[in-house]
Structure 1
């Protein structure tokens, strides 16, 4: 117990709490700017089994915020690099790396049996997909998003409302660290907050981090609110995996020819849908395809105004279902 002496002395932890952490299973999606502090603090606290999922490699342009890595790790898979570093930090922790992208086809399997799932990908497609999987299984879900000089972290599912209850709609426009920029300490702060929330869930602390949203803004002010009573949205637009597209589906590919020279279905623009626009035949399922899922969501909302059948969103392009933070 010498390794954990400074946290075991806390009445909220103690020997019993440390045993709970040692026996816990955590799933971390994304080993980038948010994932780095999450992984370091979970491993440092002695969370017994950690699975880290990320399809990307360590890049020089990310080192300013992904500070667990260095020049020696450039070009290596982030999940595998993170696992090696964490084993050096705490050899008592079992870290399993998975070099793969999170998608609706593997989300349920990856989250199954976990005590807490942490969304460190900072992608709305990943966030909603994981929230749906965790809400269905009753698994606590800790999600964060960071951009520019601010962001938020929140505890969802596991008996609390889902991410959809707090954010029922996708943003009208998408931005990323590559396009809008990010200050390294901002993701470090929010990732550390995610780790704090996850440890609170695993230790059963009261008040629970579940049902709590914490914000941090450009003026370095913290805010937030509790949302235990937030209702779940009805008939939510859900994501589907590429492999779920069937031959009999109505498939609308909203990507341009520069993004997808060979479309997976008929090529449309968002503005094509709505009253008087194209619609599936009776009994067909509509699969709305784009790179991130944002155009799919916008087109699906327009289609829903004129058609009441099943609609699914597919995020198919370069990395939106990945651990990009």
Structure 2
């Protein structure tokens, strides 16, 4: 126990709390800017088992904000590279590296096996997919987002409102680290905050981070946040599906204007014309775009004039 002596002395933790961490299983989705610090602190704290899901590879442009990786690991799958680094940090922790993208097809099984889930992917489709799976399974979800000089982390599901309840409306356009930039310490602080929230949930600390959002703005040196314990769940949320979950009879609509339809049987239609769509009776409309953002907003527009079933598909991965 020498490794954990400085945290075990805390009255909130002690030997019993350390044993709870040793027996815990955490699912971390994303091994990028948020995932790297979260993984390091979870492994350092002695969380017994971590399942890490990421289908990306290490790139040189990652390294300014993902210092978990070494130059020699450029080109390697992130999940495997991170698992190797964490094994060197704490060999007592078991890391199961899943070198694949999280999708609505594999999310339910992955979530069901975990005690706490961390959304470190910072994409609309993954965040909402994880929120839906965690809400269904009753698992706590620690989600976060960071861009430029600001970010936030929040604890949802697991008895608290879902991510959809906190953010019922999505922006019309979404910036990325490639387009808006990001400072490494910003994502480092938000990822570390995710780890602390996850440890608090595992240890049952009060007040709980579930139902709370904490924000940070490094441009103005301010921190803020709010509680959302009473946020209502949306009446008719639009679910994401995976490519493998497309069914015969689905009406496929590709909303992207920058590329050809993703399948020969998909119809090309820009988002601003979605209300002109006239789906046949009994059909499910599947709206596809690169990240899921346009699909979500177009789905809300279609939902306002058509009562049928709508699903969303993100083609980014």
- Equivalent in the alignment of 1:145: 145
How many Å separate the matches in 2 of 1:263 and 1:8?
Answer: 59
How many Å separate the matches in 2 of 1:298 and 1:93?
Answer: 41
- Equivalent in the alignment of 1:281: 280
CA 1:112–1:73: 2 relative to 1, 3 Å: same
CA 1:261–1:25: 2 relative to 1, 3 Å: closer
Which structure 2 segments of 5+ residues have no match?
A: none
**Mapped contact 2:261–2:267 kept (Cα < 8 A):** no
- Equivalent in the alignment of 2:304: 305
Deviations for 1:202-224, whole angstroms, at most 9, x for unmatched residues? 00000001011000113121100
Moved more, 194-203 or 298-307: 298-307
**Mapped contact 1:34–1:120 kept (Cα < 8 A):** yes
**Mapped contact 1:254–1:267 kept (Cα < 8 A):** yes
Q: How does 1:212-251 map to 2 (within 5 A)?
A: 212-217=212-217, 218-251=219-252
**Mapped contact 1:253–1:263 kept (Cα < 8 A):** no
**Mapped contact 1:253–1:264 kept (Cα < 8 A):** no
- Equivalent in the alignment of 2:18: 18
How many Å separate the matches in 2 of 1:258 and 1:162?
Answer: 33
How many Å separate the matches in 2 of 1:23 and 1:207?
Answer: 22
TM-score by length of 1: 0.95
1:239 aligns to what SS in structure 2?
Answer: coil
- Equivalent in the alignment of 1:8: 8
CA 1:101–1:206: 2 relative to 1, 3 Å: same
Aligned residues: 316
- Equivalent in the alignment of 1:35: 35
Deviations for 1:15-58, whole angstroms, at most 9, x for unmatched residues? 00000000000000000110000000000000000011110111
How many Å separate the matches in 2 of 1:281 and 1:177?
Answer: 40
How many Å separate the matches in 2 of 1:95 and 1:185?
Answer: 25
1:179 aligns to what SS in structure 2?
Answer: helix
How many Å separate the matches in 1 of 2:97 and 2:150?
Answer: 29
1:264 positional shift:
5.0
Runs of 4+ in 1 over 6 A off after TM superposition: none
* CA-atom RMSD in angstroms: 1.2
Q: How does 1:253-268 map to 2 (within 5 A)?
A: 253-256=254-257, 258=259, 260=261, 263=264, 265-268=266-269
Q: Confirm whether residue 124 of structure 1 aligns to residue 124 of structure 2.
A: yes
1:258 positional shift:
2.8
Which structure is higher in RCO with an 8 Å CA cutoff and minimum separation 6? Answer: 1
- Equivalent in the alignment of 1:323: none
How many Å separate the matches in 1 of 2:264 and 2:135?
Answer: 33
How many Å separate the matches in 2 of 1:160 and 1:141?
Answer: 9
**Mapped contact 2:254–2:262 kept (Cα < 8 A):** no
1:118 aligns to what SS in structure 2?
Answer: strand
Q: Confirm whether residue 211 of structure 1 aligns to residue 211 of structure 2.
A: yes
How many Å separate the matches in 1 of 2:43 and 2:65?
Answer: 19
How many Å separate the matches in 2 of 1:206 and 1:5?
Answer: 22
Q: Confirm whether residue 269 of structure 1 aligns to residue 239 of structure 2.
A: no
